[in-house]
Structure 1
């Protein structure tokens, strides 16, 4: 039994290493901090991806959106959709269930795309920057392998983009690794 668990653990570790690239955060970056609090109900709705760190699970994705819906039990339904190859390509979607991490004031979320519940740890979706109007956000997590810039609109002004870029740099992220998402 122990041998089977060891093999399964090694397989899961290898799989997780394959789905994301190396850390995009500087080695000497300060510890990652999420925003102080998030009104989860205000965060719900449709978000457009503006830019991201490349990942294997988003290979060839354009026109990417994420839609969050609050459930009666306090968890969140997540629907990620992208268009394959081009902004007009065939849509493909991934459903998930998320829950807010205890003690995070809504700013750290564990999103589970697996069909079975997995250990939640510290959360894999940290809201690092969120404007007061809940119109644009920067999402990352401590490993530095993931970074997403999101907006309620398919494009952002140069001022908003500068704000998101500044927040990413302040968190220790390398802007040179970003892939722009084609939305329009």
Structure 2
């Protein structure tokens, strides 16, 4: 019985680290170039980010080869910054933009980079294990209207429902 429960738990957790049907993570991924700070330009909202503006993510390399993830956002209701620290590891090898990230012990979720500015690593489109998760990340707190339109076009083409898309205010990060 214990083996059965362990197997069911493993299958359930594995489902959260997959890739949405029909999508492919980027290849030729360069961890060193991806490290550093990224600003959240747009997202599909979830409880863990609800009410947050000025969201950014900082990625740095841990000694064991995993990646430290520090997500930071401003909670307008309480008037202060919130931060979550996690750990990411590659699922398919370091040259594929498919990682699993954990902020809560042994529980991982997918982090799938499905579009990346290969020349400058200036923007990335990221999803989770299904199309309920979507982020547009940029190295700068602002992007052009053309960049936002390209993101929306690609997201629609990939089957994302953008009806609940949030454009993330970055007014506090512009001053940093």
- When the two chains are superposed, the root-mean-square deviation of aligned CA atoms in Å is 2.5
Residue pair 2:30, 2:94 contacting (<8 A) in 1 also: no
Q: Report deviation, 1:109.
A: 0.6
Instruction: State yes or no: 1:75 paired with 2:61.
Output: no
Name the structure 2 match of 1:65: 56
Name the structure 2 match of 1:156: 143
Q: 2:130 aligns to what SS in structure 1?
A: coil
Name the structure 2 match of 1:105: 95
| Unpaired stretches in structure 1, ≥5 consecutive residues | 14-28
Cα distance in 2 for partners of 1:155, 1:80 equals 18
Cα distance in 2 for partners of 1:142, 1:58 equals 17
Name the structure 1 match of 2:106: 117
Structure ranking higher in strand proportion:
2
- How many residues align? The count is 159
Residue pair 2:41, 2:136 contacting (<8 A) in 1 also: yes
Cα distance in 1 for partners of 2:24, 2:164 equals 20
Q: Report deviation, 1:173.
A: 0.9
Q: Report deviation, 1:104.
A: 6.5
Q: Report deviation, 1:36.
A: 2.2
Name the structure 1 match of 2:36: 45
Q: 1:57 aligns to what SS in structure 2?
A: coil
Q: Report deviation, 1:74.
A: 1.3
Normalised by the size of structure 1, how large is the TM-score? 0.77
Residue pair 1:44, 1:67 contacting (<8 A) in 2 also: yes
Cα offsets for 1:76-111 (capped at 9, x unmatched): 00000000027x930000000111113462300100
Instruction: State yes or no: 1:166 paired with 2:156.
Output: no
